[in-house]
Structure 1
Amino acid sequence: MDEGVLLDTGQEVPADLVVYCTGFKQAVHIFDATVVQRLRVADDGLYLYRGILHPDVDDLAFIGCGPAQWPDAAATASTFFPTTTAGAP
């Protein structure tokens, strides 16, 4: 189907736009207090560069939240990686 969604039942549902949402949310409760403090979780969420990397926690990447080439590029210093003074909260 070119303009919508084909359900498992075989029913075609026309749509102008299809949004895929998994409801994924980064969980920080699994880390010890030292890591959580370094992540500086805000009231409205966790601010990460490209949704993956935190400038103060260079040994942690939230893989699956975005393209995996960013942690690799940051680890090999092959791309610009902002500091907290570059606008991160």
Structure 2
Amino acid sequence: MSEEKVYVGDVRHFFPRIGVAIVDLIGELKTGDEIMILGKTTNLRQRVESMEIEHKRVETAPPGSSIGLKTVDRVREGDRVYVVKPQPQAP
């Protein structure tokens, strides 16, 4: 089974002490989504475990929102965020 990466936003800031990235979304993001964060020196893949809008935990973040996203490793300003979706292979 192959995968498709769908661009959903950019990292605006990263707080290293708490491991949280501020992401400006252009697409929808949901808790449980598999994501990739890619940049010049960043190549991170994780599941969305926790995200917040205005310090309130949310399950779904709509396009146009800025979210706080807990990350498993360091990311950098300007990194791109993608949702990874499985693509069924043709028979």
TM-score by length of 2: 0.23
Tell me which protein shows more strand as a share of its residues: 2
Task: Identify which of structures 1 and 2 has the higher relative contact order when contacts are C-alpha pairs closer than 8 Å and 6+ apart.
Answer: 2
Tell me which protein shows more helix as a share of its residues: 1
Higher Cα radius of gyration: 1
TM-score by length of 1: 0.23
